[in-house]
Amino acid sequence: MVDLLITLLYIVFVLSAMVLVVVILLQEGKGGGLTDALGTAGQQTFGVKASGIQRFTAAVAILFLLCAVFIHLLNRSRSAGSVAEEGGRAPIVDVADATRELPF
């Protein structure tokens, strides 16, 4: 069940990232931006009264951040712990003993 939830969160995460890229590039900045390439239709759509697209951008950004946090929390709770906690240490080898065993 957790794997399915993580998969769905990843899908929403990637889709919201792509939507954010497109919407941010469409917004008119101080220097014009991508809306100049669209001509008058882009200026009419995202003109002076662009509060709707700004609210949409904020909502998608919040969705993106929430997905990132939940993905992190679910992956962290699913992991058993760190390697250091499991005693995954390398054996200590004495250099003097190791050189005596060499045949040359």
The pLDDT score that the predictor gives to residue 51 is 79
For residue 30, the model assigns a pLDDT of 60
For residue 18, what are the domain limits? 2-78
User: Where does the pLDDT of residue 27 fall: very low under 50, low under 70, confident under 90, or very high at 90 and above?
Assistant: confident
Please check whether residue 73 is in contact with residue 6, taking contact to mean a CB–CB distance below 8 angstroms.
no
Q: Would residue 38 count as lying in a domain? A: yes
Q: Is 49 part of a structural domain of the chain?
A: yes
> Using 50, 70 and 90 to split pLDDT, how confident is the model at 87?
low
3-class SS of residue 84: coil
pLDDT at res. 36: 59
Q: Is residue 86 part of a domain?
A: no
CA 81, 86, 89: angle at the middle one, nearest 5? 130
Residue 99 has pLDDT above 70, yes or no: no
Residue 63, in any domain of the structure: yes
In a domain, 89, yes or no: no
In-domain check, residue 52? yes
Cα separation, 54 vs 95, whole angstroms: 65
**CA 73 to the chain's CA centroid:** 13
pLDDT at 14: 97
pLDDT for 28 equals 72
Structural domain total, the chain:
1
Q: Flag whether 91 is in a domain.
A: no
55 occurs within a structural domain: yes
Q: pLDDT digits over 28-85, tens only?
A: 766 555 655 665 555 555 555 567 888 999 999 999 999 999 999 999 887 766 655 5
